[in-house]
Structures are given as C-alpha cells and as structure tokens.
C-alpha cells in the first residue's frame, strides 16, 4: 500500500509489495495550522533557486530504509531548517505495515542524506546531510495515539538540515515554484494538482519529475485527512513524500500511497494542513512553520 522507498531492488519486486487500498474513512482533527513566515530575526538566507543544491524534490536517503523524495521546507523559532518527508520513509517493516501506531520505525536522530541524480544503480551525488527530527509514527507511538484514522493516515516526518548545509537550501518547488501558502479547505473532484517526484526508478532523468494530476474529490466523512487523485504518471516507490500543490500553488499534501483497488494506479496524498498541525501540537518543535517559495507559482507545463 505505501510507496515504500527504493532500496536497490528490481522494480517488479517492489511493485508487488503493494496491498489493496481500502476505502477512506477519516475524522477531522480540529487542529489549527500555522502558515506565516518565520520571524525576521530567525529567517535563514536562502540559496538562489536556480543553483540551490537542497530543495523540495531532492532525494532523501534514510539510513536502513532507502530513498524517498523531500516535500516542503520548514523552519522553527530558533531558525533551524527542516525538509519534510513521509514517516514511512524511516520504516523498518514491510509495505503492508501501514498503521503508524504500531509499525516498526527508526529512532529520531537517524542520519539522512540528501542526494541528486540517484538511481537504482547509483546513489547519485550527496549534496547535504541531516537527521530525523520528527516522525508522526514515532510520536503517535510515544503518545499512545488511539484514533484509528490518525494512526492509519498521519504519514509525515521532518529531517533537520545540518547547520553546514542550510546555506544550500531554497524552499521553492522545482519547475512549478511556490508554495504560496497552505490549502486548508481540501479539494473537490476535478481540481488540478501539481507535483515533483524524484524516484530512483526514473534513473535521475529530471524531465520525468514534474507531474500534473486531478483530484478525485473527498468523502465528507474523511474530515480532510487524505486526497485521492490521478496524475499523468502515478507516483512510484521513491516518490514517497513528494510535495503536491493545488491549482493556486498552495501546499495541499504529501504523497503516501499507491492504490490498486478500487481506483487502479491512483495515489493518495496526506493532507499537509492536518499533518503539520499534528506536528505543531506534538513534535516539541517551537514555532514550526511552512516556508513559502521564493519563486512564483507557474502551472504552465
């Protein structure tokens, strides 16, 4: 079910690990999400978007769990910089271990590297390092979370960028620009979405990374936790965690699962406003905030 990170195994064996996706049935969290910029005294100086080595869409390699794709950039009150990825990117279990409240997962502090150009045959070029600073899975387990829907769908983690590499970071989504804010109202059927995946299964061909898609709408009972959608080419293992923007350039979600039924080759993205609000409430990171892109959003492919 989960788009588990690639670990150098053949494509066919990885794809066969997916289980059928059940119907979505979620509840609202009631959390509020912070969308403002970090305070001026804490704001880092971002690298130019055209030359930044570490951006949303960079490959993340979490020790022992393989390659995923970073989504958005975040900061805290102290000026620390984080890249988001899926919590299941640090999983120690199988693709069918989808309950974050009991699945095996690596501890906070686990080393993560940022790479570009990586493939199944070559890890690519390392452009920076970080450590796992927050995982919804670790946090839910430590808190004793009991809500079944939160356990099933809260799939978000933060990698703290090492101080030596912060100067290499730019928060803009490659190709599309943005984000310009956070979508807190959800999507309806037919809404356009935009993403940038970076799976090693694409062998470092960046032209295959930008993707457009269409939301399939949301069941009112979902409470806004997830968004099922189709993209021109579905997200594949290694794309896990990828950023999704709505038609206005707002951050709407992070790639989590591939569906085989009842919607073949669809994807499900976790709602960023819910995931971030849970992290703001329970991570212990003060002033955790999404950073807006330095480049304007442009949906023209």
Distance CA 65, CA 57 (A): 18
In sequence order, the β-bridge partners of residue 62 are 66, 112
pLDDT tens for 202-242 read 655 565 678 899 999 887 777 788 899 988 766 667 888 99
CA pair distance 67, 34, nearest whole angstrom? 29
Q: What digits encode the pLDDT tens for the residues 33-89? A: 544 444 444 578 999 999 999 999 999 999 866 789 999 999 999 999 999 999 999
**Residue 5: inside a domain:** no
Asked whether residue 2 is assigned to any structural domain, the reply reads no
Is 300 part of a structural domain of the chain?
A: no
For residue 246, is it within any domain? yes
Residue 6 lies in a domain: no
Domain encompassing residue 22: 11-45+55-290
Q: What is the CATH number of the domain that holds 81?
A: 2.40.10.120
Give me the DSSP letters along 81-101.
EEEEE-GGGGB-S-TT---TT
User: 14 in helix, strand or coil?
Assistant: helix
Of 129, 158, 166, 152, the C-alpha closest to 44 is 166
Q: Going along 46-178, which residue ranges are E strands?
A: 59-62, 66-69, 73-75, 81-85, 111-116, 125-135, 157-161
Say what the pLDDT of residue 140 is.
Answer: 98
| CB-based contact 290:75 (threshold 8 Å) | no
Please report whether residue 155 resides in a domain: yes
Per-residue pLDDT at 245: 98
Q: Give me the pLDDT at residue 263, please.
A: 62
For residue 210, tell me if it sits in a domain.
Answer: yes
Reported as a single tens digit per residue, the pLDDT across 116-159 is 987 766 778 999 999 999 999 999 999 999 988 899 889 999 99
Tell me the whole-structure pTM to 2 decimals.
0.85
**256-280 pLDDT per residue, tens:** 877 655 565 678 899 999 999 999 9
pLDDT attached to residue 169:
98
Inform me whether the pLDDT recorded for 101 exceeds 50: yes
Beta-bridge partner residues of 255? 269
Domains: count for the chain: 1
Q: Which helix (H) or strand (E) holds 141?
A: helix 136-143
In a domain, 95, yes or no: yes
pLDDT given for residue 209 in this prediction = 75
The tokens describing 171, both together, are: 């928060």
């Amino acid at each position: 079910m989960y788009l588990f990170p690639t670990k150098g195994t053949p494509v066919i064996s990885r794809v066969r690990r997916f289980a059928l996706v059940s119907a979505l049935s979620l509840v609202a969290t009631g959390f509020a999400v912070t969308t403002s910029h970090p305070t001026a005294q804490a704001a880092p100086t971002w690298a130019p978007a055209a030359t930044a080595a570490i951006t949303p869409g960079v490959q993340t390699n979490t020790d022992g769990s393989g390659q995923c794709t970073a989504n958005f950039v975040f900061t805290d009150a102290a000026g620390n910089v984080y890249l988001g990825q899926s919590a299941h990117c640090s999983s120690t279990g199988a693709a069918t271990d989808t309950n974050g409240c009991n699945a095996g997962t690596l501890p906070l502090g686990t080393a993560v590297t940022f790479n570009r150009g990586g493939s199944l045959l070559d890890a690519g070029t390392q452009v920076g390092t970080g450590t796992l600073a927050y995982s919804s899975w670790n946090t839910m387990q430590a808190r004793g979370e009991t809500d079944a829907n939160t356990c099933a769908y809260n799939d978000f983690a933060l990698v703290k960028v090492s101080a030596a590499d912060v100067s290499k970071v730019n928060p803009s989504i490659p190709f599309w620009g943005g984000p310009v804010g956070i979508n807190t109202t959800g999507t309806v059927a037919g809404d356009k979405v935009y993403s940038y995946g970076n799976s090693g299964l694409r062998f470092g061909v960046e032209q295959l990374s930008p993707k457009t898609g269409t939301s399939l709408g949301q069941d009112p009972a979902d409470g806004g936790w997830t968004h099922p959608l189709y993209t021109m080419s579905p997200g594949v293992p290694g794309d896990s965690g990828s950023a999704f923007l709505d038609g206005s350039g707002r951050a709407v979600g992070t790639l989590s699962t591939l569906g085989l039924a009842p919607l073949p080759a669809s994807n499900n993205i976790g709602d960023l406003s819910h995931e971030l609000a849970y992290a703001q409430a329970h991570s212990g990171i003060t002033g955790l905030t999404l950073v807006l892109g330095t480049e304007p959003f442009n949906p023209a492919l």
